[in-house]
Structure 1
Amino acid sequence: MVGVGMFMDILDTVEPLLQDANSRALFDLQKCKLLGKFIKTRRSPAWPTIPTHNLPPKDLADTLVGIYLRTFEACTRVFHIPTFKRDYEALWAARAPPDMAFVIQLKLVLAIAAPMYDDEFSLRASAIHWIYEAQTYISEPDFKARLSLPHLQTIILHFMAREVVGVEGGLIWISVGGLIRTAVYMGLHRDPVNLPMRSNFVCEMRRRLWNTILELALTTCMAAGAPPLLSLDDFDTSPPGNLDDEDLASPDPIAKPLNQPSQMSIALALRSMFPVRLAISEMLNGIGRHATYEETIRLETELRRQYKGISKTMQAFDGDSASLPNKFQTQALDFQFRRSLLALHTAFFVPALTQERYAFSRRVVVDTATQIWAAARPRSGLVLSHLRDSVSDDYVRLAKNGHGTLRQIALSAVLLLAGELKAQIKEDDSLGPVVLRRDFLDILDDAIEWQWETIEAGEVNTKGFLFLKLVKAQISGFMEGLSRDQFAPRYVRAAEEAEERCLAFLESQVGLEQEDLRADLQGINEMSVNSFPDFMDFDFSMNYPMAFDLDMTDPKAWLGGID
């Protein structure tokens, strides 16, 4: 990842320093890792986790269902909402045990909404339990009986829940391949007009689910930095109609013009950008492809053209319409646009620091990264106070509490902005004072606090917090004009302060009531630093410029989860 790569000099410097027996940072890091694993194990239920009909209180479930419907469901359509609401209310009124298939779907809906319920992610353990129940249910070897639209809905919800809650979310791209093949086997890749006659309702639901599967395939391959393994020639299913869910009750619904809002507006906007976003992924992640600058500019021009048309259409929507997209939905759409834009130009960010030819990419990366961070963290000072109401609380909580792409890209944006700040300092050769972007310095400080808040909300990986502290120490040293030898003690002090704070917090969460855990922690104190794996033995060289996911499956991707 380019953002991390710009700070490889920190890693090269810190590694030998922290191998010094006088430094506590390495010991504390190992303790944090042990405590993190213990916490994750304590959160995880037994396997297999047998599905039950147990649900949270209805008022809590009502709140979580409302969050899901106003956020994820509008962007990646899974349900026919009136049918879902009918079944949901019937579940609470029924005297007999409800259908387990629907209970599992409902629990996954609750899990997806859980990170957005409050600032502390207080429902994390419950969300993990619901996902484990769903995994057990899905794993039952009754394959043919599961070739149905409801089963596809369950699989899609399961993938979304795993990503946002952080249950092996980095492996979803692998599993999505099976989902695509299941959908193709069921004929969803063919438009219903080419298949035996079905009701308009079923035809639209098939189009909606295929549309969502396409979006999952694209976004997960971007997160994994992997080829999409899907092309426009692999399907002929038309986009869903611009219809509200109530319209599907009609025997022959008539789709609205695209300049009129509906419950499909966001999903259709994403679909309209799908071909160019797919082309971006193919260029950056495809085998044997080389991202030329000319092709980059061509794709960027097309992406901007598409997005500008979408924005213009949505800005003209009738403000009184009940189907008007809400703040979360428009922010999610904007994020997908900026994510693709950032991916296109990040590959040229470092060359742009020395080659004028790529100066445009440098400006695009800086502007786009700033916008991504401002949306995820509106209180950072980048957003005027009277405009902060335009940012969704759901979106902000998802960025902080969720383990999905939004949080990963937000952190990547900070690292790119820190890289720009470092470049500005090193480029200055004037006799006068160095003039820096104060907002970038504020972003870095705010990102450190943001990383700490993720730990307070239950994140057990402390390495991201540590790395940002080291980045801040380096940039502060450059600003103060430190000599090369003066950086070493500053790095050690920053590392020790970061890990000491993290260790104290994790110990308070665990309570150290386990005898074996206390013994293991004491054992770390008695170990030689030479018995630890190299602290900075991490490979940051990524072949995929698109691969912003800090939770990569490679165990060397140390900013990701500790598994």
Structure 2
Amino acid sequence: MGPERRRRRPAISCILCRRRKIRCNRGTPCSNCAKSKSAACVYRDAPPQPQLQGPSADPTSPEAPSLTPSTSGASSTIPIPTHSSLPTTTSSTAVSVDGQPPVSHVRPSKSQTSSLAEQQRSPPIPAPAATSTFTKTSRVDTTTVDFAGKVYFHHEHRLPGQPEAVTRSVTHKRRLFGQSHWVNAIGLLPDLFEAFEHVMRDKASKASELEKRCKALGRVIKARRAPAWPCPPTPELPARAVADALVECYLRTSEALLRVLHIPAFTREYEAIWDVNSAAPDPAFLVQLKLVLAIGASNYDPAFSLRPWAIRSVYEAQTWISAPEFKSLLGIPSLQTSVLLLLARDATGIGEDMVWASAGTTLRMAMYLGLHRDPAGIGPRATTPLLVEMRRRLWNTTLEIALQSSMDSGGPPLITVADFDTEPPGNFDDEQLMCPPGDEPPTPKPANHFTQTTAAIALRSMFPQRLAIARYLNDLASRGTYAATLAHDADLRAATKTLNRRLHACRDPAAGGPPPALCLRALDLLVRRYFLSLHLPFFAPALTEAAFAYSRKVAVESALRIGRTVCAAPPPGAEPAIEDGTSRELDGLLARRATSGLGLLRTAAVQGFVVIGVELTTLLREEEGLGLGVGVGGGGPELRPDLLAALEDFSAWTWRGLEAGETNTKGYLVTHTVVAQVEAMRRGLGKEDLARYVMQAVEEGVERCLGLLEGIVAAGEGDTPGSVGMETGGPAVEVGVEDWPYMMPDSLFDTAGGEFSNWFSDGALL
């Protein structure tokens, strides 16, 4: 008998490297083939499909990924048109494994190589064309674009003969974002960003040099605003008239949707602050009050004139809450402060893109306090109506922040409806909960009676459907088939219609009058943001594939509605927002919050802007392709005026953001460039003339930004807390904390007909 034949190891190098007997890094193409400029970098064997572990790997689960891509109409592998596809590689192609940051080389161990040989049973897969980004050694294909640093778009493993998959995640600056993050929208405008980056990288370009000066000025402004760390709380408050206006702004906007405070109790302590005969105020209440004022400051005036003072207030609260006395801070007041701090960071743009991480701490603090268990089941500790309702309200708000931060950050929500049994808040006005001990507990008002808690109850009624969408977009196990997208759309639509009917019943004057228009518009904006994020992954395929036309319709109509709510210019003579205790121009408060702060409103607006820009450029290309002619003298059909107006509004809105204190100019420059590109296409300019037109627009935009920032620096913005007058509300509070850096990352930057025009609009419900 001859010697035992050794089992042959699988070939893991490309064919050319194997033939030349040189080491292969197994890239696509590998480094050797890239150096030799060979287009024949082909691998003989295909890697095995990855095996998922855990409950999500159950093939019967609706969210379980399919290891063999389906060829049905509900497949998650969707064709993307050339002109609006994911950006092609501009500098390098990286390999990513399971959505992790790209790596250039992975060397398997002997045991892993043996496992590969044993698992490899499928026939070899033909090599793709040289221009494809198909990566045979990973689950995802990766393309890159140079915009604000490398942005890596990961889309699922694709087999030859099947359409390309939609983007599933994005890696940028060492962070991984799911589909709900606004950065995914960058992939819809590859041509624009390529041209924009070309101008910025051109050393001879005037725009490039001016943009560097803008960045330097932005750093100066941000440094002036940031106080020293740690920043102990102080009793310094705005003048009484200004403070009253800020409290009113907060109560009419943030508190109307996200219940944190018991307003009568808060008002009583607030009045005592200004009473010279009262005792020294509680330092913990002063911290809460300054956070309330900081949130209100983002709505106070279009220029956000109190931004430096609001930023300091947030720093003080962060210092206070970072104290090492953990157990003493474990209580309802401390949880209220934690929630207000998250809302204030979002409103002032301080570490807003890290709120998702901090929200996890707040959620667990609430669980430590037992807020995830309904008060009816935790014994005698929660017996008074006030305490019962405050626990339910705070848990409701904590859930909402966890969900919204998940959507903003593109991170998984990390909570399910099975993790709590707390009932929604009751339909009470706050005064009802002031009953003395021993009295008959109050009865919730009927569902058709609008109270101070009705809007929060409305959010909770749609929580399961919205949570399912966040998990569908951002969870690792989700594969996002179109059938699943339509199912989530139907669920949210049904929940919205049910809520719509409930709010419509509140219009009866006998039941307290109609709901405030501001609450209705805020709810409308929030719902449309979920529809937009849900359908955005299929928006690009919908531009050429009729099977996804519904996603195109939903995305465009949602984007238009968001633009009208967030980006419309406020009417003249609308400042200050509150005068003599009476609300003025409430419709502009949402727009001011979107202009001054970040978070939900701004990310929704960015997504909407991209959809409108892509829709307009697509329509122009379609007209040109049909030979209809575009431009002033072309005689072709006119574009939708609402789309053009929305695009102009988006550009003007980003400029107002700079005027309100935003220091990152790229948001304005990109929107300004898109407007110029659309205008050039409407004029029918050729490729070279269009490029010159866009380059000129970029240079003009940078010059305008530079002039604005130079004026802010010259005026000394950030050196003082504002010209509103400051008063002392109590003794200074010193808090000792460990010296750790406070993170201030760079800031990001009614159509006629159809059912979308009716939801929550102007109080005119279905």
For Structure 1 versus Structure 2, the TM-score category normalised by the shorter chain is: 0.7 to 0.9
Deviates more, 1:43-52 or 1:205-214: 43-52
1:171 aligns with 2:171: no
Query: CA distance change for structure 1 residues 377 and 13 in 2, over 3 Å: closer, same or farther?
Result: closer
The alpha carbon displacement at 1:392 in A equals: 1.4
Determine the C-alpha separation between the residues in 2 that align with 1:559 and 1:350: 27
Determine the C-alpha separation between the residues in 2 that align with 1:380 and 1:121: 14
Contact 1:464 1:559 in 2 (8 A): no
Contact 2:233 2:317 in 1 (8 A): yes
Among 255, 268, 273, the alignment partner of 1:73 is: 255
Query: CA distance change for structure 1 residues 238 and 182 in 2, over 3 Å: closer, same or farther?
Result: same
Structure 2: which amino acid aligns with 1:201? L
What SS is found at the alignment partner of 2:237?
coil
Among 333, 348, 351, the alignment partner of 2:523 is: 333
1:407 aligns with 2:592: no
Q: Deviations over 1:76-101 (max 9, x none)?
A: 10111111111111222144321000
The alpha carbon displacement at 1:316 in A equals: 2.2
The alpha carbon displacement at 1:16 in A equals: 3.4
1:254 aligns with 2:443: yes
Determine the C-alpha separation between the residues in 1 that align with 2:196 and 2:249: 44
Determine the C-alpha separation between the residues in 2 that align with 1:52 and 1:399: 28
1:20 aligns with: 202
2:656 aligns with: 453
1:486 aligns with 2:681: no
Contact 2:233 2:316 in 1 (8 A): yes
Query: CA distance change for structure 1 residues 496 and 559 in 2, over 3 Å: closer, same or farther?
Result: farther
Among 501, 525, 547, the alignment partner of 1:357 is: 547
The alpha carbon displacement at 1:111 in A equals: 0.3
The alpha carbon displacement at 1:405 in A equals: 1.6
Structure 2: which amino acid aligns with 1:33? K
Among 395, 398, 401, the alignment partner of 1:216 is: 401
1:55 aligns with: 237
2:265 aligns with: 83
Among 128, 142, 145, the alignment partner of 2:325 is: 142
The alpha carbon displacement at 1:343 in A equals: 1.0
Contact 2:563 2:650 in 1 (8 A): no
Decide which structure has the larger Cα Rg and report it. 2
Deviates more, 1:480-489 or 1:161-170: 480-489
Determine the C-alpha separation between the residues in 1 that align with 2:494 and 2:521: 18
1:161 aligns with 2:344: yes
Superposed counterparts of 1:76-475, under 5 Å = 76-93=258-275, 94-197=277-380, 198-199=382-383, 200-250=385-435, 251=439, 252-317=441-506, 318-319=508-509, 325-379=515-569, 392-428=587-623, 429-432=625-628, 433-475=636-678
Q: Deviations over 1:292-350 (max 9, x none)?
A: 21121121112111112212222221336558532222211111111111111111100
What SS is found at the alignment partner of 2:530?
helix
What SS is found at the alignment partner of 1:347?
helix
Deviates more, 1:471-480 or 1:231-240: 471-480
Contact 1:300 1:341 in 2 (8 A): yes
Aligned residue pairs, count: 514
Structure 1: which amino acid aligns with 2:297? A
What SS is found at the alignment partner of 2:236?
coil
Normalized per residue, the structure richer in strand is: 2
Q: Deviations over 1:502-524 (max 9, x none)?
A: 1111112112999xxxxxxxxxx
Contact 2:543 2:552 in 1 (8 A): yes
Determine the C-alpha separation between the residues in 2 that align with 1:121 and 1:380: 14
Determine the C-alpha separation between the residues in 1 that align with 2:653 and 2:456: 30
What SS is found at the alignment partner of 2:696?
helix
Determine the C-alpha separation between the residues in 1 that align with 2:470 and 2:203: 46
In structure 2, runs of 5+ residues without a counterpart are 1-182, 572-583, 629-635, 718-742, 750-766
- Report 1 or 2 for greater relative contact order, CA contacts < 8 Å, sequence distance ≥ 6: 1
Among 491, 497, 503, the alignment partner of 2:700 is: 497
Query: CA distance change for structure 1 residues 185 and 425 in 2, over 3 Å: closer, same or farther?
Result: same
Determine the C-alpha separation between the residues in 2 that align with 1:10 and 1:399: 25
2:218 aligns with: 36
The alpha carbon displacement at 1:47 in A equals: 1.2
Query: CA distance change for structure 1 residues 141 and 293 in 2, over 3 Å: closer, same or farther?
Result: same
Normalized per residue, the structure richer in helix is: 1
The alpha carbon displacement at 1:480 in A equals: 2.3
Determine the C-alpha separation between the residues in 2 that align with 1:379 and 1:48: 38
TM-score (norm 1): 0.87
Q: Deviations over 1:145-204 (max 9, x none)?
A: 111000000000000000011111110000011111111111111111211212222111
Query: CA distance change for structure 1 residues 226 and 82 in 2, over 3 Å: closer, same or farther?
Result: same
Query: CA distance change for structure 1 residues 153 and 14 in 2, over 3 Å: closer, same or farther?
Result: closer
Determine the C-alpha separation between the residues in 2 that align with 1:377 and 1:21: 34
What is the aligned-residue identity percentage? 43
In structure 1, runs of 5+ residues without a counterpart are 382-388, 515-552
Deviates more, 1:469-478 or 1:84-93: 469-478
Among 46, 62, 66, the alignment partner of 2:228 is: 46
- CA RMSD for the aligned pairs? 2.2
The alpha carbon displacement at 1:379 in A equals: 4.7
Contact 2:199 2:208 in 1 (8 A): no
